[in-house]
């Protein structure tokens, strides 16, 4: 057999479908104790006794209607691709609900196998299942599996192989009792127009009677519009008549009959399993979800995440940074050597790339810890409880209880990354809330925003640092909630919504392997996605900062200064024992030798490795060595070293000036200047504009760019904080400017990697553009207001921040209050309506 | 079923939203439509199914229910569309 056998895995959420898929195919797929991990289809191949199989993991669905995205994805696949075998994964501990889906699959006429999963849990709950009896009653093979332990794999593979060969019988036809004549009527009408229909007409007739919109669309695909119209009209009339006659809608009746069938199947086959007494989960919940203990427990959890991943994680980066520095050295060694004034492009570009990558990789330890902690939250079952606790608050602002995970990943208080955050929005079943979450996540404190905050706080708010940090970290949440509310009542108004119905899975102990695997997976996605995009953008930003470059005139000027410096050095070296080293040919190697040595010394930690550096450099060039490290008592060497140091100092400052001039003239510099008329209201001069523009590539580059732009003068060994402070304060800037910058940065568009993720998750470039334009306008408006008003009224930075914070908080409370009122009103209306329906039904 | 309601519809209809934690009720019928209704049915809130109200969230909304073998949570807004009778 050469043809690949197509196997679809269908099942309800939390039935262990993804785990079983991994067992079946050996693939490593993301598995979580958090409903809705799979929305996309996942593919995996395996071979078994000579045949090759393509397994498709469908999104978890409770049923196969067309109401949600997952169900549509799953159903469309089953309809259009017609898998050779459908493996229906069911939760053995919850058969009554699971079998509802089984019935629907069988009604579709799919060649099915029942994988009775989680049989261990069922046993533990005292549920006894007569497997042979179940198979007989349902008329299909039943395989017992425990996905989490990998048992039942070979059985399952064998049964799939056998099943693929047999021609399965007719679709299941359960007795719909009073609906039967109606079904027959529609079936007849369909049968006339659609001969080559691959689906059972009975299934199709039922969907039409349920007024299923996708079924109607499918009908239009196969028959002429006129015929489709006739049939749809007929179905509608019949369904209406049925409702009048029986007092129950067709779809309610269908569900009731299916449930009746399921109960008849289970009768005598399944025993026990009533949840008698109090389960352990319930006992934990009694404490964890207690009105008073819940908030405390939640705050403690978030605090622990912050402390362990961010605070301790940062300490860990002190140990990992040397590895990255070593890597930079390695690359630097491979690249062509630096010139005296101008470096080869390939060198600058290469190092720029490595630096960009390193800033990113520096966060890896933090993310590993953060993602591991979040995996523990998910697997333990507590994440679903967090959603349960916070749903009311989040819902009031257009979000969803399940927005919690994306927001935490994005870095609520602690710092995170919007890329995995936006990816995690997949699990939110309510589309409007999902979209709102996608736009809210980038407002969170991404880790890369922190360096700029730290920088600005270090300059302008030394005394109020902790207060400012508190403002910044909590204000992001306020802004995110306000923005999502704003979007929900405006641009997202028309999006589909669905109710909050979420399973609260039983608590269980996360496994070390599972947690580590997920943490690695998410971190890897971060490195891969962010890495590739940041690298690409780094090249663009580099180019835009480099070109068009310096004018010929200034190049000549700088060169003249360079030659002068060399001449001075050579003059000083005259008569020195080492004078021969100062020959024209030797200058560049000597300078590079010196700077390499100094950098190696800086990277070396401890006396031992410092000595090792000495040895290495002595070996590399014994002639040059006395100039960088004068032998004891060798006065001439010391003088020569001093002269060399002066030369290098002069070279450094010339190069710095060149760089500044290059950036000033660069494309990005031009853009920065051209938008100055707009940004001046927010207090941003062109230098700040350039930094903010370049931060679009990756946030952390804002600090690096500021570092270049606010360069230090010769011999002034000041930190960037001091330099920026001196320059901006001299230019009349105050802490107010810092506040304006912080606010802008907090609201500023997501970095490029995030916007790409927005595109992936929303499936639209339009939304991606929106994710860029909207925050930019918002940020600029807020910053301009703050700066202009603050300047006019002479309000200090910290006061302004307090004003902004309190106004935002007040607005949040007002909005929350108003939507609570609205909710209450609509609940009352609904109540009245239900009374009305009953009165109608009674008539 | 029709006879249980007086024609004027004045009787207080009990919905899942009115049930105190710890009480067990039986689902009567749904007053919601479309995807909301489907979701509720999918979760197992089918007519004649017995439901135990476990607790309300710390902010009183949503509520947690036990159905057969699973615990699910539901917003009060949707709970108010599910007509129940006391067991």
Q: What is the pLDDT of residue A414?
A: 61
Residue identified by tokens 């309000």 is A795
Question: Looking at residue A39, what is its pLDDT?
Answer: 55
Of A58-67, A522-531, A759-768, A803-812, highest mean pLDDT: A803-812
Instruction: Summarize pLDDT for A253-287 with one digit per residue, the tens.
Output: 888 889 889 989 998 888 876 554 457 788 888 88
Asked whether residue A842 carries a pLDDT value surpassing 50, the answer given is: no
Q: In what order do the strands lie in the sheet with B50-56?
A: A501-503, B70-74, B63-67, B50-56, B24-30, B82-86
- A626: nearest Cα among A582, A584, A585: A582
Strand B70-74 with A501-503, pairing: antiparallel
Q: Are A558 and A653 in contact (CB under 8 A)?
A: no
**Residue A712: pLDDT band with limits 50, 70, 90:** very low
Task: Estimate to the nearest angstrom the gap between the alpha carbon of B85 and the chain centroid.
Answer: 9
pLDDT tens for each residue of A424-472? 887 787 888 999 999 999 998 887 787 788 878 877 787 888 888 888 8
Burial of B65 (0-12, 13-18, 19+ CB in 10 A): buried
**Do the Cβ atoms of B73 and A841 come within 8 Å?**
no
Q: Confirm or reject contact between B77 and chain A (CB < 8 A).
A: yes
Of A10, A259, A386, A392, which to mutate for an interface test with B (greatest number of B Cβ within 10 Å)?
A392
Q: Considering only residues 423 to 462 of chain A, which have any Cβ-Cβ distance to chain B shorter than 8 Å?
A: 429
Q: How far is B87 from chain A (nearest CA, A)?
A: 17
Structure confidence at residue B7 as a pLDDT band (50, 70, 90): very low
Least confident among A70-74, A77-81, A653-657, A839-843: A839-843
| Average pLDDT value over all residues in chain A | 81
Q: Which residues of B touch A835 (CB under 8 A)?
A: 9, 13
Q: Which residue has the higher pLDDT, A707 or A766?
A: A766
Inspect the interface and report whether the beta carbons of B35 and A97 lie closer than 8 Å: no
Sequence-ordered list of residues with C-beta below 8 angstroms from that of A396, at least 6 positions apart, any chain: A485, A816, A819, A820, A823
Task: Name the pLDDT band for A367 (thresholds 50, 70, 90).
Answer: confident
**Nearest neighbour of A94 by CB, restricted to B7, B37, B68:** B68
Looking at residue A780, its pLDDT comes to 92
* Rounded mean pLDDT, A366-384: 87
What's the confidence (pLDDT) of residue A704?
66
pTM above 0.80, yes or no: no
pLDDT score of A311: 78
Q: Distance from B28 to chain A by nearest Cα, in Å? A: 11
pLDDT at A807 over 90: yes
Q: Which helix (H) or strand (E) holds A434?
A: helix A431-440
Helix (H, G, I), strand (E, B) or coil at A763: coil
- Record: contact B39-A501, CB cut-off 8 A: yes
CA distance B86 to chain A (A): 18
pLDDT at residue A147 greater than cutoff 90: no
Q: Does A294 touch chain B (CB under 8 A)?
A: yes
- Percentage, residues of chain A above pLDDT 90: 13
Q: Please, which residues bridge with residue B26 across strands? A: B50, B85
* Percent of chain B residues past pLDDT 70, beyond the cut: 85
Give the model's pLDDT for residue B52.
92
User: For residues A225 and A481, what is the distance between their CA atoms, to the nearest angstrom?
Assistant: 46
Nearest-by-Cβ selection for A501 from B46, B54, B74: B74
Contacts of A759 (CB under 8 A, 6+ apart): A765, A767, A768
Q: Which residues contact A758 (CB under 8 A, 6 or more apart)?
A: A422, A438, A439, A750, A767, A768, A771
Q: Determine the pLDDT at residue B6.
A: 43
pLDDT at position A841 is: 43
Provide the pLDDT for residue A843.
36
Determine the distance in angstroms separating the CA of A285 from the nearest CA of chain B, rounded to an integer.
9
Residues in chain B with CB shorter than 8 Å from the CB of A97 are: 43-44, 67-68, 70
Interface of B with A in 17-56 (CB under 8 A): 29-32, 34-44, 46-49, 54-55
Answer yes or no: do B78 and A255 touch at CB < 8 A: no
Let me know if A30 is exposed, middle or buried by CB neighbors in 10 A (0-12, 13-18, 19+): middle
Q: Is B15 on the interface with A (CB under 8 A)?
A: yes
Highest mean pLDDT among A232-241, A566-575, A605-614: A232-241
Residues of chain B with Cβ-Cβ distance to A838 below 8 Å are 5, 9, 11, 13, 83
Q: Compare A561 and A532 and report the one with higher pLDDT.
A: A561
Per-residue tokens: A655: 């190069």
Q: How many beta carbons lie within 10 A of that of residue A732, not counting itself?
A: 9
pLDDT at residue number A32: 46
**Residue A781's pLDDT band (cuts 50, 70, 90):** very high
Using CB atoms and an 8 Å cut-off, which of residues 35-74 of chain A contact chain B?
Answer: 62-63, 65, 67-68
pLDDT digits (tens, 9 = 90+) for A477-491: 899 999 999 999 888
The predicted complex's ipTM stands at 0.87
- Please name the residues in contact with A290: beta carbons below 8 A apart, sequence gap of 6 or more: B58
What average pLDDT score do residues A391-406 get?
A: 89
CA distance linking residue A834 with residue A498, whole number of Å? 19
Average pLDDT of the residues in A382-410: 89
- Describe the strand order of the beta sheet including A85-91 as a list of residue ranges: A42-48, A51-57, A5-11, A85-91, A112-117, A142-144
Residues of B in contact with A840 (CB under 8 A): 9
Cross-chain Cβ contact B37/A282 below 8 Å: no
Cβ A325 vs Cβ A599: under 8 Å: no
Give the whole-angstrom CA distance, residue A671 versus residue A661. 15
Q: Does A512 touch chain B (CB under 8 A)?
A: no
- Kindly tell me if the per-residue pLDDT of B5 is higher than 50: no
Q: What residues 246-285 of chain A have any CB closer than 8 A to a CB of chain B?
A: 247, 251-252, 255-256, 259, 273, 275, 281-282, 285
Lowest mean pLDDT among A175-184, A367-376, A667-676, A830-839: A830-839
pLDDT reading at A34 higher than 50: no
């Amino acid at each position: 057999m050469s043809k690949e056998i197509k196997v679809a895995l269908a099942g309800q959420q939390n039935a262990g479908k993804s785990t079983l898929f991994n067992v079946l195919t050996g693939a490593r797929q993301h598995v979580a104790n958090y409903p809705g991990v799979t929305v996309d289809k996942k593919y995996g191949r395996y071979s078994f006794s000579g045949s090759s199989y393509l397994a498709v993991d469908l999104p978890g669905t409770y049923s196969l209607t067309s109401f949600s995205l997952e169900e549509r994805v799953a159903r469309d696949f089953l309809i259009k691709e017609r898998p050779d075998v459908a493996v229906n994964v069911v939760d053995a501990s919850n058969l009554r609900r699971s079998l509802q889906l089984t019935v629907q699959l069988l009604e579709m006429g799919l060649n099915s196998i029942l994988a009775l999963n989680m049989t261990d849990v069922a046993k533990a709950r005292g549920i006894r299942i007569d497997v042979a009896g179940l198979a007989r009653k349902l008329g299909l093979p039943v395989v017992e599996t425990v996905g989490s332990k990998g048992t039942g794999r070979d059985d399952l593979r064998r049964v799939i192989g056998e099943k693929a060969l047999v021609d399965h019988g007719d679709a299941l036809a359960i007795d719909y009792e009073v609906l039967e004549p109606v079904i027959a009527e529609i079936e007849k009408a369909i049968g006339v127009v659609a001969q080559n229909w691959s689906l059972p007409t009975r299934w199709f007739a039922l969907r039409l009677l349920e007024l299923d919109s996708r079924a109607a669309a499918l009908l239009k695909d196969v028959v002429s519009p006129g015929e489709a119209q006739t049939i749809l009209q007929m179905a509608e009339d019949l369904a209406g008549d049925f409702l009048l006659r029986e007092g129950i809608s067709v779809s309610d009746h269908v569900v009731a009959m299916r449930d009746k069938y399921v109960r008849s199947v289970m009768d005598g086959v399944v025993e026990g399993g009533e949840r008698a007494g109090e389960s352990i989960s319930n006992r934990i919940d009694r404490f964890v979800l207690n009105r008073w203990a819940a908030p405390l427990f939640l705050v403690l959890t978030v605090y622990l995440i912050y402390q362990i991943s961010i605070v301790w994680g940062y300490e860990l980066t002190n140990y990992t940074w040397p590895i990255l520095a070593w890597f930079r050295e390695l690359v630097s060694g491979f690249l062509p050597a630096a010139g005296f004034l101008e470096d080869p492009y390939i060198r600058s570009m290469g190092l720029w790339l490595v630096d960009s990558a390193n800033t990113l990789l520096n966060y890896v330890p933090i993310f590993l810890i953060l993602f591991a902690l979040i995996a523990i939250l998910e697997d333990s079952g507590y994440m679903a409880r967090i959603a349960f606790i916070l749903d009311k608050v989040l819902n009031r602002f257009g979000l969803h209880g399940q927005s919690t995970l994306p927001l935490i990943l994005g870095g609520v208080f602690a710092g995170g990354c919007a890329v995995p955050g936006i990816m995690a929005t997949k699990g939110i079943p309510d589309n409007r809330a999902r979209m709102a979450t996608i736009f809210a996540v980038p407002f969170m404190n991404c880790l890369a925003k922190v360096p700029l905050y730290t920088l600005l706080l270090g300059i302008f708010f030394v005394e109020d640092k902790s207060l400012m940090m508190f403002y910044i970290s909590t204000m992001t949440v306020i802004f995110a909630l306000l923005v999502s509310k704003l979007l929900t009542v405006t641009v997202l108004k028309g999006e589909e919504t669905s109710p909050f119905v979420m399973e609260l899975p039983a608590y269980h102990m996360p496994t070390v392997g599972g947690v580590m695997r997920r943490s690695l997976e998410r971190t890897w996605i971060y490195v891969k996605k962010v890495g590739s995009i940041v690298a690409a953008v780094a090249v663009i930003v580099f180019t835009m900062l480099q070109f068009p470059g310096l004018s010929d005139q200034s190049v000549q000027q700088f060169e003249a200064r360079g030659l002068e410096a060399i001449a001075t050095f050579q003059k000083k070296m005259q008569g020195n024992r080492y004078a021969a080293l100062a020959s024209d040919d030797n200058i560049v190697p000597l300078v590079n030798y010196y700077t390499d040595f100094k950098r190696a010394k800086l990277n070396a930690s401890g006396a031992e490795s410092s000595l090792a550096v000495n040895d290495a450099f002595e070996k590399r060039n014994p002639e040059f060595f006395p100039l960088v490290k004068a032998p004891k008592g060798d006065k001439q060497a010391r003088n020569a070293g001093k002269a060399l140091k002066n030369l290098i100092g002069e070279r450094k400052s010339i190069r710095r000036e060149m760089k500044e001039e290059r950036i000033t003239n660069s494309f990005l510099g031009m853009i920065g200047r051209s938008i100055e008329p707009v940004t001046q209201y927010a207090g941003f001069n062109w230098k700040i504009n350039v930094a903010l523009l370049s931060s679009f590539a990756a946030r952390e580059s804002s600090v690096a760019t500021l570092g270049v732009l606010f360069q230090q003068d010769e011999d002034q060994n000041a930190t960037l904080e001091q330099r920026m402070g001196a320059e901006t304060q001299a230019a009349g800037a105050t802490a107010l400017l810092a506040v304006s910058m912080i606010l802008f940065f907090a609201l500023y568009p997501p970095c490029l990697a995030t916007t790409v993720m927005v595109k992936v998750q929303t499936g639209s470039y339009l939304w991606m553009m929106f994710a860029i334009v909207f925050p930019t306008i918002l940020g600029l408006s807020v910053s301009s207001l703050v700066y202009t008003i603050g300047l006019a009224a002479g309000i200090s930075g910290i006061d302004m921040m307090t004003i902004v914070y309190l106004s935002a908080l007040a607005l949040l409370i007002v909005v929350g209050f108003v939507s609570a009122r609205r909710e209450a009103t609509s609940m009352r209306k609904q109540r009245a309506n239900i009374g009305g329906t009953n009165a109608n039904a009674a008539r | 079923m029709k006879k249980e309601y007086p024609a004027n519809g004045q009787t207080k209809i009990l919905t899942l939203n009115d049930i105190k934690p710890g009480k067990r009720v039986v689902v009567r019928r749904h007053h919601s439509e479309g995807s909301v209704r489907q979701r509720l049915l999918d979760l197992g809130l089918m007519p004649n199914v017995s439901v135990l109200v476990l607790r309300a969230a710390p902010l009183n909304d949503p509520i947690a229910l036990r159905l057969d073998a699973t615990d699910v949570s539901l917003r009060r807004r949707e709970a108010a569309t599910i007509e129940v009778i006391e067991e």
